[in-house]
Structure 1
Amino acid sequence: MTLAGRPRAWFRRLPVVVRLVLAVAVTMSLVLTGAAGLVYWRVQTALDQQLNDDLTTYRHSLDQAVRTGAGLPPGPSGSLRQVLDAHGRVLSSSDAVRREPLLTPAELGVVMRGTTVHRDVGSLLPIAPDALRLQAGSVTADGRTRIVVTAVRRGHRDEALRELLAQLGIASGLTLIAASYVGYRTARAALRPVERYRVGAATLAGGAQNLRLDVPTDRDDEITRLGHTLNHMLDQLEAAAERERRFVADASHELRTPLTLMRAEVDVALHRPRSAEELTETLRSVDAEVQRLIDLSDALLDLEELGGTSHITRAPVRLADLVDTAVSPHRRTAERAGYGLHIDADDTTVDVDARWLVPAVGNLVDNALRHGSTSVRVTAAVRDGRVRIRVGDDGPGFPAEFLPRAFDRFARAEASRTSKGSGLGLAFVHAVATAHGGTAQARNTAYGAVVTLDLPCRAPGGAG
């Protein structure tokens, strides 16, 4: 890691609250430094302007007096003066600087060439006892060159600037402390819900059930939306766990019966000698139970896949072709049983997932053929952006007590308990409808039972 990267890595390892406070402190320091520098510069400029104006006015009056030979006028309070000849000898001077020339030999040469010299004597910090601001220029009197030097003491100006620096430093420090404190409190308040969410997640990881985060309902900020997202994730996790529990429970419940029958058949075959015909019949019975186990496992896996999929894959398909594909495998069964199989489907295009919808309709046709009397009717139409597929038979219909739980897993009418089927067909149909964002409805009519699939679809053309 480079030297420049080490501070960044160190900064990223700090807690979020500390990073936010440091960012606020650094930003406020820059802002306060800039503001204090601007205020100091404005005050210093004003004081210097006043000082320079007084100094210039005093020097002009001295220049006039030296040119005319009049007496030298008094200057402002704390002012000093010197009049020098061309060789730097003091001709006239204030008492405080009578023996000490205010100009250096180099500055004297500059003034003799006609340039005005400005210079500060002493510094603002550390404090100098005799801080001056001087101005020197040449003037001609009686044909001879004279150097007029004026100076004013900077004590009041420097004292005012030092006082200003102290006040700015105190004010900036207090402001920085206040801003850092407010930033710390604000960051803690803003991140407090995140900490609650973290504790809640830790509780969930510890085995808590039905946990939901306490998210305010009267706000819509980033933290609140995070809480809603986490709650939605918890809903999905709970739903997935519930599906897993149901899958295990359903599988264990339904697999027990065929496994028990297979074990009984094998035990009987092993406990006494059996003829070849009897062994063949036993194997056929075991094969039937194995096929039942395969069908049951396939149905459970299909239900699990549908329940665990957040969306299906829609694709354009001709509705008439979809219904024909679903019904075709059952035509021979209907012919052997002497059933009439009537189909009435719109010739239009819909956007659905045919991979799931075809077996769902096929399940309904298979149920109708098993429970009907003489005929099965399948209708499919698109109206108002929805496709409605109805499968009806002319049988006795659903038992009244069975209708409320017709789409539950392993729900079977008492009259059909001994018939073929696992009780997962209608549950699969309901899962397909729900995955499409639609509904499945079972009801009895005057002619028999009818199951209706009502699904939203997009019909690019055709009826609807």
Structure 2
Amino acid sequence: MNPRDRARAWFRRLPVVTRLVLAVAVTMSLVLAGAAGLVYWRVRTALDQQLDDDLTTYQRSLDRAVRAGEQLPPGPSGSLQQVLDAQGRVLHSSAALRHQLLLTPAELRRVVHGATVRRDIGSLLPITSGTLRLQARPVTADGHGRIVVAAVRRGHRDEALRELLAQLAFASALTLIAASYAGYRTARGALRPVERYRSGATTLADGNKHLRLDVPADRHDEITRLGHTLNHMLDRLDASAERERRFVADASHELRTPLTLMRAEIDVALHRPRSAQELTGTLRSVDTEVQRLIDLSNALLDLEELGSTGHITRSPVPLSDLVQDAIAAHLHTAEQTGRTLTAEAAGTSADVDARWLRPALGNLVDNALRHGHGAVHVMATVEDGRLRLCVRDEGPGFPPGFLPRAFDRFARAEASRTGEGSGLGLAFVHAVATAHGGTAHAENDGHGVIVALDLPC
């Protein structure tokens, strides 16, 4: 692994707050360095411009004096001057220089050939004494070539720049510390709800089944949206666990009776030798219970599928086809029992899931034929974007106390409407209506029972 990958791996292993503070510190360091560099450059440019102006003015006064053969004028405080001939011999020099040459041989040659030379002597850091800025250029006096060197002290300029650097470093350090602290406090404050959510999730993992995260109601930022999402997930998990517990409880409760009956029939058949006719009767009884178990299992699985996904696939379905398909399997039963089964459907289509709605309507027809009396009438209408499916029979109706729980699982009315069945038919109808975003309703109208589905379409 190369150093860059190792650095990235190390950075990713750090806590989130530490990574955020480091990111803020690095970013602020770059910003502060850029701002300090800009300020330093602007100030140094201004100071250099002033120093160059003073040096140029001093150089011009020396040039005029050399051309006129006059005494060289004094310059700014601490300034130096030197006049050389074309061979580099010192003709005049400030007392502080004596015969020390300010120009190097290379610079001397350049000036002899007509160039102007400017350079600094000494450095800003570390601090040195005698820092100068000099300028040399050729001058003709009395037909002879001369080299005039002017130099001014850089002490005030360098001191000002060193003070500026110290102040910028101090201000940048304070700003970086303040920004890092603010970033730390902000990151801690922003991630505090996440830590609270994590603690809540730990409590949930320890067995608290009804935990909900405390999400502020007066905010709508990313953290609160995360909290609402987690609470929604917890609701779904609770609902899923409740459906699983209910499914197991319902299945164990309803499967116990047919399994007990089958075991009793088989035990009796095995207790003593039985005739072929008796064994046939036993097998038929067992077959009836097996079919009941199959129907019960299918009903439970259908309810679980609807409850667990809540997903339906809508598509336009002609109402007449939907109703005819739902009652087709029951026409023979109605004919055998001398009952009338009629249907009335609007000549339009509805946007529903026929895969679930067709068996739900069939369940209502089956209940009406099984438990009701007289004619059974199915009606399908669409009004204001809603589909209404009604199944009416002419039976005695539901007991008044049964109506509020008619759509509960395994709910059964009095003996007049019980008999065969698992008590899951109306529960399945209610689940289909809920999955469509609608409702299911049952009522006694004085002439029988009306069970209706009201669905958006």
- Name the residue aligned to 1:284: 284
Asked if structure 2 preserves the Cα contact closer than 8 Å seen for 1:372 and 1:393, the reply is yes
Kindly report which structure 2 residues correspond to 1:82-121, keeping only aligned pairs within 5 A, or say none.
82-121=82-121
Distance 2:83 2:373 in 1: 136
- Name the residue aligned to 1:462: none
Letter in 2 for 1:32: L
Distance 1:410 1:293 in 2: 14
Asked if structure 2 preserves the Cα contact closer than 8 Å seen for 1:247 and 1:304, the reply is yes
Cα distance 1:146–1:172, how it changes in 2: closer, same or farther (>3 A)?
Answer: same
Asked if structure 2 preserves the Cα contact closer than 8 Å seen for 1:86 and 1:145, the reply is yes
- Name the residue aligned to 1:350: 350
Distance 1:445 1:164 in 2: 96
Letter in 1 for 2:110: V
Measured after TM superposition, the shift of residue 5 of structure 1 is: 2.5
- Name the residue aligned to 1:341: 341
Q: What runs of 5+ residues in structure 1 fail to find an aligned partner?
A: 458-464
Q: Does 1:436 align with 2:436?
A: yes
The DSSP-based 3-state class of the residue aligned with 2:443 is strand
Letter in 2 for 1:34: G
Deviations 1:70-102 (A, max 9, x none): 221111111111111222222221111112111
Asked if structure 1 preserves the Cα contact closer than 8 Å seen for 2:136 and 2:148, the reply is yes
Letter in 2 for 1:21: V
Distance 2:299 2:418 in 1: 19
- Name the residue aligned to 1:329: 329
Measured after TM superposition, the shift of residue 180 of structure 1 is: 1.0
Measured after TM superposition, the shift of residue 414 of structure 1 is: 2.0
Measured after TM superposition, the shift of residue 271 of structure 1 is: 2.2
- Name the residue aligned to 1:201: 201
Size of the aligned set, in residue pairs, is: 457
Distance 2:3 2:347 in 1: 72
Q: Does 1:27 align with 2:27?
A: yes
Deviations 1:48-90 (A, max 9, x none): 0110100100110111111112221111111111111222222
- Name the residue aligned to 1:311: 311
Cα distance 1:418–1:435, how it changes in 2: closer, same or farther (>3 A)?
Answer: closer
Distance 1:113 1:122 in 2: 26
Distance 2:60 2:410 in 1: 114
The DSSP-based 3-state class of the residue aligned with 1:73 is coil
Q: Does 1:165 align with 2:165?
A: yes
Asked if structure 1 preserves the Cα contact closer than 8 Å seen for 2:84 and 2:146, the reply is yes
Q: TM-score, normalised by structure 2?
A: 0.98
Q: Does 1:10 align with 2:3?
A: no
Letter in 1 for 2:348: T
Distance 1:370 1:146 in 2: 131
Deviating more after overlay: 231-240 vs 92-101: 92-101
Letter in 1 for 2:262: M
Deviations 1:348-389 (A, max 9, x none): 122211111111000000111122221001000111111110
Asked if structure 1 preserves the Cα contact closer than 8 Å seen for 2:371 and 2:417, the reply is no
Distance 2:418 2:80 in 1: 126
Asked if structure 2 preserves the Cα contact closer than 8 Å seen for 1:371 and 1:393, the reply is no
Deviating more after overlay: 47-56 vs 19-28: 19-28
- Name the residue aligned to 2:142: 142
- Name the residue aligned to 1:225: 225
The DSSP-based 3-state class of the residue aligned with 1:179 is helix
Distance 2:215 2:24 in 1: 28
What RMSD, in angstroms, separates the aligned Cα atoms of the two structures?
Answer: 1.2
Kindly report which structure 2 residues correspond to 1:154-303, keeping only aligned pairs within 5 A, or say none.
154-303=154-303
Deviating more after overlay: 75-84 vs 396-405: 75-84
Q: TM-score, normalised by structure 1?
A: 0.96
Structure 1 runs of 4+ with >6 Å offset? none
Letter in 1 for 2:88: G
Q: What runs of 5+ residues in structure 2 fail to find an aligned partner?
A: none
Measured after TM superposition, the shift of residue 446 of structure 1 is: 2.2
The DSSP-based 3-state class of the residue aligned with 1:402 is helix
